[in-house]
Amino acid sequence: MKVPKVVDLQALQHFPDVLKKPDLHKLHVELFACLPSLPNMPDLHRLREELTNSLPSMDLLPSPSTWHIIEILTRCLPERLFHGNYTDVGVLLSMKEDVVNLIAPFMLTPITRWPFFAFLGGAMFCLFSSSTCHLLACHSERLSYIMLRLDYAGIAALISTSFYPTVYYSFMCNPFFCNLYLGFITLLGIGTMLVSLLPVFEKPEYRKFRASLFFGMGFSGIAPILHKLILFWNRPEALHTTGYELLMGLFYGIGTLIYATRVPERWMPGKFDIAGHSHQLFHLFVVAGAYTHYHAGLLYLRWRDQEGC
């Protein structure tokens, strides 16, 4: 329900108006407490004029030799924006939001979000098609047949789009492998959706073929995940995202196992007809798996936003 905030470069044309909002004299006083070299820095009012005049060329900051930006970031910003070795409790407690709002837009260069939104779209389509299937399947045999095909297509969409954030953000600096993995999972997902929708593949002789496509889609994610661990074995982000992805696979696997074995109604027939039967438990595990992968996607976004390639 919350869209991750990104920096809109077009909004920077209003940066002169942003500079007029903070109390620059108050900033000057606060910065003096944590910057010994403040007298050697340009006057902040002159700094605002320089930023305003240089805005059309997008050269937003003066050269580091005239404005000690590194010292400001290191000594004067709260820890939530900069994790350095310098910590002055008094400065952190007295720091106002003006400096944060002034400098924060330039600290991160956000990357594209479409792989993350593609996953969210696939998850929403899967759950929407499933709920629609359960709602309308009782209408008639013909509509039940159509809705069931749509339900299978939604499952294929969820599986294929789940790999988009993993592949794109892991290999965004290696276009060859990024395009290779994305192309493969996309083609496999489209093929699985077509097999689910076309009546010709409903014949009994294609049953193993249909099952193999879904099985292959799920296990095709092992290759990019292992490749990611080889490339970034020393990065905590790679390990954390892999942990989420393994947990996601565990949720999906348990849900599929419960659905296939018809547990628990096979043990007590009739007792779980209204609540607690295998299909309901299956859906709960699917939602848990998608939610887990959502958190993995947020880790990918934070990692790449902060470090890029």
Per-residue pLDDT of 206-224, as tens digits, reads 777 877 888 888 888 899 9
User: Region 34-58: what's the mean pLDDT?
Assistant: 56
Q: How far apart are CA 182 and CA 115, in angstroms?
A: 10
Q: Is the pLDDT of residue 201 over 90?
A: no
Kindly report whether the peptide bond that precedes residue 264 is cis, defined as omega within 30 degrees of 0. Answer: yes
pLDDT at 65: 43
Q: How far apart are CA 163 and CA 179, in angstroms?
A: 12
| Weakest mean pLDDT among 84-98, 126-140, 159-173 | 84-98
The residues, any chain, with a CB within 8 Å of residue 206's CB and separated by 6 or more, are 195, 200
Q: How far apart are CA 36 and CA 132, in angstroms?
A: 65
The pLDDT > 90 percentage for the chain reads 48
pLDDT at 76: 58
User: Region 50-54: what's the mean pLDDT?
Assistant: 56
From the list 184, 192, 170, the residue with the least C-alpha distance to 297 is: 170
pLDDT at 230: 95
pTM over 0.95: no
Instruction: Tell me: is residue 279 an annotated ligand-binding position.
Output: yes
The pLDDT > 70 percentage for the chain reads 65
User: Region 265-271: what's the mean pLDDT?
Assistant: 93
User: Region 257-271: what's the mean pLDDT?
Assistant: 91
Residues 65 and 32: beta-carbon distance below 8 Å:
no
pLDDT at 17: 65
pLDDT at 63: 46
Question: Which CA distances in Å does 230 have to 172, 176, 226, 242, 282?
Answer: 15, 16, 6, 12, 33
Q: Beta-carbon neighbour count of residue 259 at 10 Å?
A: 18
pLDDT at 119: 97
Instruction: Decide: helix, strand or coil at residue 3.
Output: coil
